[in-house]
Amino acid sequence: MPRFLMSWLLGLGANAIALILAAFIFPGFTLTIEGFVIALIVFAVLSALLPWLVLNPAFFHGLLMNHGVAQRKSTLLG
């Protein structure tokens, strides 16, 4: 199983456990089945999309920036 999928599933399980614990610990926190499923779906979608949306542009921006630095070095040295 790919590392991303395994970490995503573990995070989803941790979120499920956290919701159940919050229902037991906090007196005003009520948990219904529908709310539990919706919260897990929201957590799952956001945890899958946010790292890609945050890291992907930064990765490509870093590549472009490094290419520019390497090009300047070769111009100065050559």
Residue boundaries of the structural domains of the chain: 3-77
Q: What is the mean pLDDT of residues 42-69?
A: 69
Residues 6+ apart with CB under 8 A from 36: 16, 19
The rounded mean pLDDT for the chain is 77
- For the stretch 7-43, pLDDT in tens is 888 888 998 999 999 989 999 888 899 999 999 889 8
Do 4 and 44 contact (CB within 8 A), yes or no? no
Task: Work out the number of other CB atoms within 10 angstroms of the CB of residue 48.
Answer: 15
